[in-house]
Amino acid sequence: MAPVAADAHGGGLDASGCHNDRKAQSIHCHRQTHTGIPKVTDGDTIRIGKARIRLYGIDAPEAKQTCNVGDNEWRCGFEATNALANIIGENWVTCARKDTDRYGRIVAVCRVGEIDLNAWMVGNGWALAYRRFSLDYVADEIKAMREKRGIWRGQFSPPWEWRRKKR
């Protein structure tokens, strides 16, 4: 079964269901939810069909990022990606759009059934609350930090700092 979306009019829509509204000089989007079995890109990004979806309010270690536990380096970005893939499994995901980012990705809160994937990733220590954009997941982060879950069991650079150093 393919994802279904209804649009108010056809033509000129991108993979996100958006188009340039020349009269209003803005981007106008029709689809507010995306549903399907996703492909996991990394710990905070998925694809449903052609739509690239960034999980709202969180930032996970990059796929190639490493962290340390004591003297041991481990592939925390790879583990974060696997954690998201494992919680999704072969289940359908429903994402509610909140925004579109500067890369054209949909920014959304995504769920598998009753599980808020964004909160789950932060609460299990596989992502940080991305305070620059939202305070929604700060309590989940504090709990993960106290319980030393995921990346909190050792030392790491926040993903936004790791990216900045790699540029």
User: Residue 54 half-sphere exposure, CB side, CA atoms within 13 Å?
Assistant: 18
Higher pLDDT: 117 or 28? It is 117
Q: Give the rounded percent of residues in the chain with a pLDDT score beyond 70.
A: 81
Is residue 34 within 8 A of residue 117, CB to CB? The reply is no
**Domain regions of the chain by residue span:** 18-155
For residue 53, the model assigns a pLDDT of 97
HEC readout, 9-62: CCCCCCCCCEEEECCCCEEEECCCEEEECCEEEECCEEEECCEEEEECCEECCC
Of 16-25, 77-86, 151-160, the poorest mean pLDDT is in 16-25
Model confidence at 3, pLDDT cuts 50, 70, 90, reads very low
CB 77 within 8 A of CB 66: yes
For domain 18-155, give the CATH number: 2.40.50.90
Q: Can you give the pLDDT at residue 150?
A: 97
Which tokens sit at 164? 């900045």
Taking only the tens place, the pLDDT of each residue in 4-40 is 444 445 556 565 556 565 665 555 555 589 999 999 9
Query: Could you tell me which residue, 83 or 26, shows the higher pLDDT?
Result: 83
Quick one: tokens of 87?
């919680």
Residue that wins the pLDDT comparison between 34 and 1 = 34
For residue 166, name the pLDDT band (cuts at 50, 70, 90): confident
Q: Which residue has the higher pLDDT, 18 or 78?
A: 78
Q: Tokens for 153, please give them.
A: 């069991």
Q: What is the pLDDT of residue 29?
A: 58
What 3-state DSSP class applies to 56?
Answer: coil
Question: Residue 12's pLDDT is what?
Answer: 60
